[in-house]
Amino acid sequence: MSQPNILLLGPPGAGKGTQSSNIVEEYGVDHVTTGDALRSNKGMDISDLDVEYDTPGGFMDAGELVPDEVVNEIVKTALQEADGYVLDGYPRNLDQAKYLDEITELDVVALLEVPREELVERLTGRRICDECGTNYHVEFSPPEEAGVCDKCGGELIQRDDDTEETVRERLNVFDENTQPVIDHYDIRDELVRIDGEGAPDEVWEELHAAIEDEV
């Protein structure tokens, strides 16, 4: 068969980025992530939409969702160009899920489940290499030298939206908007629940087995 189309759901900090990398390596699919796409376009002028902020960055720094018009377009283009993909960070509300139904067919929908306090701890301690994007955690996976990437020597930074206040807002937004998305797939019996609390390798073992069952 052609390459699988995989949707990875889960709250911020559940490990979607890490597990997406595993999927890319195993299946050779594209990683489509709205968060990264929007971060590269934080300053884009969206003033013609007449919404709360004039750029995606305004919404992001407040922990709010960027308007569907902007995000849907990014996803549509990326999926059209992909031969198999792992989609991460989208859909985040029911309207996006319905839009996704119209533009593609999914082979696997997996949900990474992690308790909230663990998510807060993971996100506020997260540091990312400014050069190559590798993730670290100040406590759980620190670099050899504080503030410096082990892989490329780049500077480790904290994402603007990984402060405690914004993290809590992002998790509230997830509960409010994305729970209906989870239900949307669950009702159709398409959802596979994965315990995301363990070490990344353990989570991958369970996720990989679940994908193999479906494709």
Nearer to ligand AMP, 22 or 93 (CB): 93
Nearer to ligand AMP, 69 or 131 (CB): 69
- Whether 170 sits among the annotated catalytic residues: the reply is yes
The beta strand positions in the chain, using DSSP E, are: 5-9, 30-33, 85-88, 108-113, 126-129, 135-137, 156-157, 191-195
Contacts with 214 (C-beta within 8 Å, 6 or more apart), sequence order? 4, 107, 108, 192
- Binder among 4, 59, 99, 211 for ligand AMP (CB under 6 A): 59
Query: How far is residue 73 from each of residues 68, 69, 84, 90, 101, measured CA to CA in Å?
Result: 8, 6, 18, 12, 14
Contacts with 183 (C-beta within 8 Å, 6 or more apart), sequence order? none
Binding of residue 90 to ligand AMP (CB under 6 A): yes
CA dihedral for 129, 61, 115, 112, sign (positive or negative): negative
Minimum distance between the CB of residue 71 and ligand AMP, rounded to whole angstroms?
4
- Binder among 8, 46, 71, 128 for ligand AMP (CB under 6 A): 71
Q: What is the identity of the amino acid at 193?
A: R
Binding of residue 15 to ligand AMP (CB under 6 A): no
Binding of residue 35 to ligand AMP (CB under 6 A): yes
Binding of residue 114 to ligand AMP (CB under 6 A): no
- Binder among 7, 60, 97, 156 for ligand AMP (CB under 6 A): 60
User: One of 42, 159, 168, 193 is an active-site residue; which one?
Assistant: 159
Binding of residue 92 to ligand AMP (CB under 6 A): yes
Minimum distance between the CB of residue 53 and ligand AMP, rounded to whole angstroms?
10
Nearer to ligand AMP, 165 or 205 (CB): 165
DSSP class per residue in 76-120: HHHHHH-SSEEEES---SHHHHHHHHHH---SEEEEEE--HHHHH
Binding of residue 20 to ligand AMP (CB under 6 A): no
Annotated catalytic residues are 16, 92, 126, 159, 170
